Amino acid sequence: MSTVPTDSKYAKSHEWIRVSGDTGTVGITDHAQHELTDIVFVELPAVGRKLKAGEASAVVESVKTASDIYAPVSGEIIEINPAIVDNPALVNTEPHTGGWFYKIKLSNPAELGALLSPADYEKQIAG
Amino acid sequence: MLKRTALYASHQQLGGKLIEFGGWEMPVQYTSITDEHQAVRTAAGLFDISHMGEVTVSGANAEAFLNAVLTNDIRKLAPGEGQYTLMCNERGGVVDDLYAYRLAPEIYLLIINASRIEPDVAWLQAQAAKFGGDLKLTDASHNYAAIAVQGPAVKDFINAVIPGASTSAMRVNAVTELKKNQVGGFKFENHNVLVSRTGYTGEDGFEIVGSDESIIHLWASLLAAGKPFGLKPAGLGARDTLRTEVCYPLYGHELDENTTPIEAGVGFFVSLDKGEFNGRSVLAEQKASGVKKKLVAFKMAEKSAPPRPHYPIWINGVSVGQVVSGTQSPTLGIGIGLAYVPAELAKPGTPVEIEIRGKRAAAITVPKPFYKKA
Identify whether residues B226 and B117 lie together within a single domain. no
Q: What is the 3-state secondary structure (H, E, C) of B239-282?
A: HHHHHHHCCCCCECCCECCCCCCCCCCCHHHCCHHHCCCCCHHH
Any domain includes B130: yes
**DSSP code, position B91:** T
Any domain includes B253: no
Identify whether residues B150 and B35 lie together within a single domain. yes
Identify whether residues B21 and B166 lie together within a single domain. yes
> Closest chain A residue to B17 measured between Cα atoms?
A35
> Closest chain A residue to B328 measured between Cα atoms?
A63
What is the CATH number assigned to the segment(s) A9-106? 2.40.50.100
User: Which residues from B are below 8 Å from A66, CB to CB?
Assistant: 305, 308, 357
Q: Please give the model's pTM, rounded to 2 decimal places.
A: 0.94
Write down the mean pLDDT value for chain B.
97
Identify whether residues B151 and B240 lie together within a single domain. yes
Identify whether residues B71 and B137 lie together within a single domain. yes
Identify whether residues B23 and B159 lie together within a single domain. yes
Any domain includes B122: yes
Identify whether residues B137 and B210 lie together within a single domain. no
State how far residue B32 is from chain A, nearest Cα, in angstroms.
6
A59-81 burial, b if ≥16 CB within 10 A, otherwise e? bbbbbbeebebbbbbbbebeebb
Residue B155's SS3 state is helix
State how far residue B352 is from chain A, nearest Cα, in angstroms.
20
Q: Which contiguous run of DSSP H or E holds residue B17?
A: strand B17-21
Any domain includes B275: no
Q: Which contiguous run of DSSP H or E holds residue A16?
A: strand A15-20
Q: Which residues, 6+ apart, have CB-to-CB distance to B74 below 8 Å? A: B63, B66, B67, B83, B85, B100, B102, B108
**pLDDT tens-digit profile of B265-315?**
999 999 999 999 999 999 999 999 999 999 999 999 999 999 999 999 999
Query: Are B18 and B5 spatial neighbours (Cβ–Cβ below 8 Å)?
Result: no
- Neighbour-count burial of A86, counting CB atoms closer than 10 A to its CB (0-12 exposed, 13-18 middle, 19+ buried): exposed
- Counted domains in chain B: 3
First to last CA, chain B: 43
State how far residue A64 is from chain B, nearest Cα, in angstroms.
7
Q: What is the pLDDT of residue B1?
A: 84
Identify whether residues B12 and B81 lie together within a single domain. no
What CATH number does residue B373 fall under? 2.40.30.110
**pLDDT tens-digit profile of B35-84?**
999 999 999 999 999 999 999 999 999 999 999 999 999 999 999 999 99
Q: Domain range spanning residue B65?
A: 53-141
Q: How confident is the model at residue B202 (pLDDT cuts 50, 70, 90)?
A: very high
State how far residue B243 is from chain A, nearest Cα, in angstroms.
14
Interface of B with A (CB under 8 A): 28-29, 31-34, 237, 241, 303-306, 308, 327-328, 330, 357
**pLDDT tens-digit profile of A15-62?**
999 999 999 999 999 999 998 889 999 999 999 999 999 999 999 999
Q: Please state the ipTM of this predicted complex.
A: 0.87
pLDDT at B253 over 80: yes
Is omega for the bond preceding B369 within 30 degrees of 0, making it cis? Answer: yes
Any domain includes B345: yes
What CATH number does residue B95 fall under? 3.30.70.1400
> Closest chain B residue to A87 measured between Cα atoms?
B303
Residue B327 is nearest to which of A43, A63, A85, comparing CB atoms? A63
Do the Cβ atoms of B357 and A43 come within 8 Å?
Answer: yes
What CATH number does residue B224 fall under? 3.30.1360.120
Any domain includes B255: no
C-alpha to C-alpha distance for A81 and A86, rounded to whole angstroms: 9
- Beta strands (DSSP E) in B272-317 are 293-300, 312-315
How many Cβ pairs within 8 Å bridge chains A and B?
39
Identify whether residues B44 and B166 lie together within a single domain. yes
Any domain includes B278: no
Any domain includes B183: no
